[in-house]
């Protein structure tokens, strides 16, 4: 069982926007700016990293909910810093206040939720449910 995670637990990840992270990589007629799905993935990574020290054995954290507002574009070459700070725990569900910043603006903000699970039990459930 995972160690208790104190409120305020936090982590940051920083990524550089590459063409493969842009809307243009998906559809050429769209602008070459950071796509919302990639940005959210980076915000989720911050939550994942925050929980790693509290996982034991084969435990990992998995995403359970996202509520993110994406407000500003970010071009190829820019660095994006994503931060996740634990704000509440409800049983096995942990909710983080998350934000992303491109060095000039807060480009996104909201919440992400994660749960700590046993990887082997999680994978076993997936096998059963896919049969």
Is 36 known to be catalytic? yes
Q: For residues 109 and 129, what is the distance between their CA atoms, to the nearest angstrom?
A: 34
Sheet-wide strand order for 59-70: 10-16, 79-90, 93-101, 106-118, 59-70
The architecture (CATH level 2) of 10-129 comes to Roll (3.10)
**Active-site residue (options: 36, 49, 64, 87):** 36
Is 22 known to be catalytic? no
Name the residue with tokens 């909710």.
Answer: 95
- What pLDDT was estimated at residue 2? 72
For residue 126, name the pLDDT band (cuts at 50, 70, 90).
Answer: confident
- What pLDDT was estimated at residue 1? 63
Is 21 known to be catalytic? no
User: Could you tell me the residue ranges of all domains in the chain?
Assistant: 10-129
pLDDT digits (tens, 9 = 90+) for 46-79: 999 999 999 999 999 999 999 999 999 999 999 9
Query: Which helix H or strand E contains 126, and what residues bound it?
Result: helix 119-129
Identify the three-state secondary structure at position 82.
Answer: strand
């Amino acid at each position: 069982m995972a160690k208790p995670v104190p409120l305020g637990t936090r982590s940051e990840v920083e990524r550089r926007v590459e063409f493969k992270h842009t809307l243009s990589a998906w559809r050429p007629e769209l602008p070459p700016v950071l796509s919302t799905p990639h940005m959210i993935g980076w915000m989720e990574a911050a939550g994942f990293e925050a929980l790693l020290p509290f996982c034991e054995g084969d435990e990992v954290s998995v995403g359970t909910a996202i509520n993110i507002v994406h407000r500003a574009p970010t071009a190829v070459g820019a660095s994006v810093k994503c931060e996740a700070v634990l704000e509440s725990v409800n049983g096995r569900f942990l909710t983080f206040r998350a934000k992303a910043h491109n060095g000039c603006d807060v480009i996104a903000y909201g919440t992400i939720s994660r749960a700590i699970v046993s990887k082997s039990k999680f994978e076993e459930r997936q096998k059963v449910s896919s049969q």
